[in-house]
Amino acid sequence: MFKTRHKRRFLFDRTSGEHEPDKGLMFITGLLIIFGLIVLSSASAVSAYAKFGSSYYYFNNQVVSLIIGLACFYIFFKIDYHYWRRYALVFLGVSCLFLALVFIPGIRAEYGSAKSWINIFGQSLQPSEFVKIFFLIYLAAWMESRKKRLDDFKQGIGPFLLVLIFIGFLMLMQPDIGTLSIIAITSLIVYFIGGGKFSHVLIIILIGIIGLTIMVNLVPYQKSRFKCAFDETHALEDECYQLNQSLIAVGSGGFFGRGLGQSRQKFLYLPEVSSDSIFAVIAEEIESEDTSGK
């Protein structure tokens, strides 16, 4: 996968040694960033003022992160992505190290029941976000080295499944099922496109479903969270409170929404409005599928 070079000039400029950007993709990304900043400013204003005395606390932090991100984007844009192949194993080790740091007292930062954040120099970050990139770089390099040997159990599905299970175990212990689902699905897609057998993919999916079912039934909190999705009367003031408040926000927006900045649920009714519940605020202010007008 890494070994294949782009031959078309619009993807790789051999005269300058630099990758030419996909302008359409960059334009769409820019629009999403602008839209994200606008809705974040609206959704988090009340919560930010209540917690920090400034309605723009979360917005300002995001702008700082955007500046850092753009600087990193420019730096990595100048580097041929094939360069990272030699460090693939290092990336895997760093991924596992980051995921292990959340279990160390004094470094980990707990938010609710989740232990998926760490504190470094007074700043909190989520290691799993780095794993999304690092693990895929390792996976791409690993599959390129296997080439046509992916049909063999010892060269293909065996090592792939072993590493994925280890990464999954560390994330389930946090627990961070949402991010694990993204990593697992993305990894399966890369594995299949890279030459993995479809039957192997089905086996991995089956193992994942069985493992998830066992975990959900063994952990009462997770079992209750899943029950919230199917029983609207279950634990309205406890585990299902956030879900039910989100449904109220989405349903009360009507077809066109209440209007930007006009959400009612963001007035400390809906928890985590700047992150987990921001979609519900967007739906309430801009649009939703409910036309009842409630």
* pLDDT band of 148, cuts 50, 70, 90: low
Given phi > 0 = left and psi -120 to 50 = alpha, else beta, which region is 223?
Answer: alpha
Query: What integer is the mean pLDDT of 81-106?
Result: 81
What pLDDT digit, counting tens, does each position of 220-248 carry?
666 777 777 776 666 666 677 777 788 77
pLDDT of residue 245: 80
Query: What integer is the mean pLDDT of 190-197?
Result: 78
Question: What is the identity of the amino acid at 201?
Answer: V
Contact 146, 156 (CB under 8 A): yes
pLDDT higher for 65 or 157?
Answer: 65
Question: What is the identity of the amino acid at 177?
Answer: I
Query: What integer is the mean pLDDT of 4-20?
Result: 47
- Domain residue spans of the chain: 82-218, 227-285
DSSP class of 247: H
The pair of structure tokens assigned to 110 is 């707990």
What distance in Å separates the CA atoms of residue 233 and residue 240, rounded to the nearest whole number?
Answer: 9
Question: What is the identity of the amino acid at 248?
Answer: I
pLDDT higher for 113 or 39?
Answer: 39
What distance in Å separates the CA atoms of residue 165 and residue 135, rounded to the nearest whole number?
Answer: 13
Backbone phi and psi for residue 57, each to the nearest 5 degrees, phi listed first? -60, -55
pLDDT of residue 294: 44
Question: Mean of the per-residue pLDDT values for the chain?
Answer: 76
Q: Strand 108-111's sheet: what is its strand order? A: 108-111, 114-120, 123-125
What pLDDT digit, counting tens, does each position of 24-34 carry?
888 999 999 99
What distance in Å separates the CA atoms of residue 43 and residue 236, rounded to the nearest whole number?
Answer: 23
pTM of the model: 0.66
Contact 132, 179 (CB under 8 A): yes
The pair of structure tokens assigned to 60 is 């300002």
pLDDT at residue 37 above 70? yes
What distance in Å separates the CA atoms of residue 83 and residue 76, rounded to the nearest whole number?
Answer: 11
What pLDDT digit, counting tens, does each position of 155-179 carry?
777 788 888 888 888 887 777 777 7
Residue reference for tokens 């079912």: 213
DSSP class of 111: E
